């Protein structure tokens, strides 16, 4: 299929190739980041195809490459008291939060060239359709990434694309996290914006697993492909020991 700017079906280097989906449950942030780097290296050499990790994290704040530490509201003592870790990473964007009740998606995909904006828009489109499918009217906001309901962000998007066009990082959709944890940061550096969750928008009955089921369907639909399911061990990923 010929490249068509803006068309997610032509986004990947191998359009139509199956995507392997790994639903891993709750994974500590640094373990999942190590998984991404390992998978990205193997995707770069062609040892594996495109992979999507779907998981949750324990409470953590992450700082993107150009993040301003002034956007951290809680100091180290308060973060420790609340059990929230902090890591600086290589994605774009400012500071964000991950925690239980949030579905995180990490696409490890090889793109058909330097299509970073198309990649971000594709991840947004997956989540726009997800929310529309459960009766939530969401949209993009000009000048900002992510998926919004009015001025409240439901899905945050922050990605990294290597020089060989392999993606890491991705999106985080608030299903039913503890929204009070967002008080410890200025989310994405946007002081005048809010955060929302699927539960707070009228759907407390949906679990992270429910939302993951729907997300997988929309990934296949938006990318114009099929998916196959795997467990971490199928891809040689070491499952972290319980804390």
What does the alpha-carbon distance between residue 86 and residue 67 come to, in Å, rounded to a whole number?
A: 12
What does the alpha-carbon distance between residue 84 and residue 136 come to, in Å, rounded to a whole number?
A: 30
What does the alpha-carbon distance between residue 146 and residue 163 come to, in Å, rounded to a whole number?
A: 24
Pairing mode of beta strands 152-161, 167-174? antiparallel
Task: Reply yes or no on whether 188 is catalytic.
Answer: yes
Residues, the chain, total? 243
Query: How many other C-beta atoms lie within 10 A of the C-beta of residue 58?
Result: 15
Helix (H, G, I), strand (E, B) or coil at 187: helix
Query: How many other C-beta atoms lie within 10 A of the C-beta of residue 177?
Result: 25
Helix (H, G, I), strand (E, B) or coil at 103: strand
The one catalytic residue in 128, 188, 201, 208 is: 188
User: Where does the chain have alpha helices with state H?
Assistant: 29-45, 76-82, 116-133, 208-223
Q: Report, as residue numbers or ranges, the catalytic residues.
A: 188
């Amino acid at each position: 299929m010929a490249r068509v700017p803006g068309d997610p079906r032509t986004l990947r280097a191998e359009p139509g190739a199956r995507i392997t989906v790994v639903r891993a449950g709750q994974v500590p942030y640094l373990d999942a980041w190590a998984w991404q780097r390992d998978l990205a290296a193997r995707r770069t050499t062609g040892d594996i195809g495109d992979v999507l990790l779907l998981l949750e994290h324990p409470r953590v704040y992450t700082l993107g490459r150009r993040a301003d530490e002034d956007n951290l509201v809680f100091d180290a003592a308060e973060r420790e008291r609340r059990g929230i870790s902090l890591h600086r990473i290589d994605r774009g964007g400012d500071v964000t939060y991950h925690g239980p009740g949030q579905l995180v998606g990490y696409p490890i995909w090889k793109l058909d060239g330097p299509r970073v904006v198309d990649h971000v828009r594709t991840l947004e489109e997956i989540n726009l359709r997800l929310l529309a499918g459960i009766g939530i009217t969401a949209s993009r906001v000009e000048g900002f990434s992510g998926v919004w309901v009015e001025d409240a962000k439901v899905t945050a998007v922050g990605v990294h694309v290597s020089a060989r066009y392999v993606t890491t990082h991705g999106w985080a959709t608030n299903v039913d996290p503890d929204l009070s944890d967002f008080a410890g940061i200025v989310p994405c550096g946007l002081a005048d914006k809010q955060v929302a969750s699927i539960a707070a928008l009228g759907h407390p009955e949906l679990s992270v697993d429910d939302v993951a089921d729907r997300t997988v369907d929309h990934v296949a639909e938006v990318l114009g492909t099929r998916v196959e399911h795997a467990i971490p061990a199928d891809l040689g990923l070491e499952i972290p020991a319980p804390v």
